Amino acid sequence: MKKLFSRSISVLLALIMVFSMASTSVSATEKTAAEVVKELDKNIPIVFIHGLGDQPIYKGISTETEEDDVDIWSFPADKIVGLVFKNLPEVIFSIAFGKYERLDVVFTDILGTIFGNVACDENGVPSPDTGLKYNKEITPTDEYGKRNDYYFAYNWRLDMHTISTQLDAFVDEVLKVTGAEEVGLVSFSMGGAVMMTYLYEYYYIAPEKRDRIHSAVFISGGMNGVECCEDPFSGHIEFTTKSLLRMVSDLLPKDGSLTVVDDLLRIVYAIKIFEPLVSFANDTLIPNLDEMAGSAVMKTIGTVPAFYALMSSERYYQAEEYLFNTPEKLETYSELLAKNRYYHDNVQANKDNIIDALLADGKNFAVISEYGHKMLPVTSDNDRMSDGMIGTYSTSFGATCADVDGVFAEDYVQAKECVCGKNHISPDRQIDASTCKYADVTWFAKNLKHKDDDKYFADLIDLVTYSEEQITVHTYSDLPQYMINLDETCLVPLTAENAGEIIPFDGKTSIISFLENLLK
């Protein structure tokens, strides 16, 4: 009965939302989004919640002088490469002779060097000698909007409840300084998990504070899980020849100067020369590395609560079983686990209810999802569509996606018949938004690689935030559901013509084309 009631409420909210937007869709033909955004009354301050790592973490902040402050998060790529080469002989020896237990030292050295200083204690609390140095004063402005937002800087290692409490104090200060009565919230990446926690604690279960929130926008949010975080943490890694070679292909220059190398990679994949090695890695190496990798993780990033918030609840509890797999670990890390469970049992468990409450209260709302990039090849499904960091299915609240280098079959039809009666399949036939929980207010940006740049989204966010009525993906012809980044300056409507050719990694070339490129 409870589930039936919940579903009925969701359907009712969707119907109310669609029919209340009908007038907006009809009148939108009179002006374009570009015209309307210039006329908006931007009278509400926007608070922006950034993602993981956006602010550097410093060591040495407990002293009065800044001379000994060291950035302990921005680890140079050349040092990472140096670490790998330093440990390579030990790795080769250990694998060749089956001495997998020796790899514990290797993992601990690499992860400890990179992440050791940002680690927390067993309770998930950072060292008091580490933290942020960001201290920008909150001041009123003549006009608000996304380009003049109030940037909430936070120590992203902390648990979501602690960060949410700090965000509430920040919102209070913004309201006090500006004299405004409400704010618009915008989040990116891990900021989505932070914002969802804030909405749970200071909106969903705190009706008396709801008037302070005007709108909410999620950009490439991590509130539904981040696959390249949750899969390795829970032991769900599967290497494939295709994903590994494709990753190398993606690193090649895009000017065509190394086309012959790209062709060669595809030929290597076609003749399956690396299949035995990949099978060995999946069947023998990874299972034997589980305990060693887990040990190294728990000495470093495994103590940071924020990483566990970047998981779906299903994957989190698998990670808990995978990493905290003894009574001693459960006891030692009991406070860390309590913080993690609070987020998953309360915030993630109610995320749909939280957004339904926003919509029922008439708050403006939008989801922005990015796609067109390969996932880091450290997950259980490396063919899934993503923005290079988070799967598009997750950031969009449920879009049906083709493989990253594939398209829907010719006979594919929209998965769900939406109440709006509109088409939700992308012009490139890679995304079907009809299965998104909030299909009519979910926008997609192709060819953006996990970005939150104002030049792409500021106008859309301002239209969502300041329009008198909720806008949808059907409101403006120049702001449709699907857009594309063509020249790194802005987004334009996606069409079948500008989408570009989508070529499967295993279907582009042959030995003949390889020889042709070699002879050019």
Q: Can you list the domains of the chain with their CATH numbers? A: 2-54+134-226+355-493 (3.40.50), 62-131+288-310 (no CATH)
In whole angstroms, how far apart are CA 344 and each of 187, 341, 461? 19, 5, 28
Q: What are phi and psi of 176, to 5 degrees?
A: -65, -45
Cα of first residue to Cα of last residue in the chain, in angstroms, is 69
Retrieve residue 140's tokens.
């009123």
pTM for this structure?
Answer: 0.89
Instruction: State the DSSP H helix or E strand holding residue 213, giving kind and residue range, or none if neither.
Output: strand 213-219
Residue 402 and residue 385 in contact, taking contact as beta carbons nearer than 8 Å: yes
Residue from 246, 241, 240 nearest 271 by CA: 241
Residue from 46, 69, 292 nearest 170 by CA: 46
The residue type of 486 is L
SS3 state of residue 260: helix
- Residue 282: predicted pLDDT: 79
| Spatial distance between the Cα atoms of 384 and 399, rounded to a whole number of angstroms | 12
| Spatial distance between the Cα atoms of 424 and 79, rounded to a whole number of angstroms | 45
| 364: β partners | 215
| Spatial distance between the Cα atoms of 61 and 476, rounded to a whole number of angstroms | 49
| Spatial distance between the Cα atoms of 429 and 403, rounded to a whole number of angstroms | 11
- Residue 83: predicted pLDDT: 81
- DSSP at 128: T
- Residue 188: predicted pLDDT: 97
Residues 337/338/339/340 CA torsion (nearest 10 deg): 50
In whole angstroms, how far apart are CA 198 and each of 68, 87, 126, 413, 437? 35, 43, 21, 38, 21
* Class of residue 134 by CB neighbours under 10 A (exposed 0-12, middle 13-18, buried 19+): middle
Helix (DSSP H) and strand (DSSP E) numbers for the chain: 20, 13
In whole angstroms, how far apart are CA 332 and each of 317, 321, 337, 352, 392? 17, 14, 10, 33, 36
- Residue 261: predicted pLDDT: 82
Residue 438 and residue 365 in contact, taking contact as beta carbons nearer than 8 Å: yes
Task: Annotate 453-469 with DSSP letters as a single string.
Answer: -HHHHHHHHHHHHH-SS
Q: What are phi and psi of 454, to 5 degrees?
A: -60, -30
> Can you tell me which residue has the tokens 């601990």?
108
| Spatial distance between the Cα atoms of 176 and 473, rounded to a whole number of angstroms | 34
SS3 state of residue 95: helix
- Residue 291: predicted pLDDT: 61
Which runs of E-coded beta strand occur in 271-398?
364-371
| Spatial distance between the Cα atoms of 434 and 429, rounded to a whole number of angstroms | 13
| Spatial distance between the Cα atoms of 518 and 360, rounded to a whole number of angstroms | 62
Per residue in 148-180, pLDDT (tens digit) is 999 999 999 999 999 999 999 999 999 999 999
Q: What are phi and psi of 55, to 5 degrees?
A: -110, 130
Residue from 95, 92, 373, 429 nearest 243 by CA: 373
| Spatial distance between the Cα atoms of 93 and 100, rounded to a whole number of angstroms | 9
| Spatial distance between the Cα atoms of 290 and 293, rounded to a whole number of angstroms | 5
Residue from 208, 215, 228 nearest 450 by CA: 228
Q: Collect all residues with Cβ–Cβ distance below 8 Å to 157 and sequence separation of at least 6.
A: 57, 118, 120, 126, 304, 305, 306
| Spatial distance between the Cα atoms of 135 and 131, rounded to a whole number of angstroms | 12
> Can you tell me which residue has the tokens 């609240």?
397
Retrieve residue 442's tokens.
């979910």
SS3 state of residue 399: coil
Q: What are phi and psi of 293, to 5 degrees?
A: -65, -40
pLDDT below 70 — which residues of the chain? Answer: 1-29, 77, 288-294, 507-520
> Can you tell me which residue has the tokens 């960091």?
389
SS3 assignment for 275-287: HHHHHHHHHHHHH
Residue 371 and residue 387 in contact, taking contact as beta carbons nearer than 8 Å: yes
Instruction: State the DSSP H helix or E strand holding residue 195, giving kind and residue range, or none if neither.
Output: helix 191-199
CA atoms within 13 A on the CB side of 30: 6
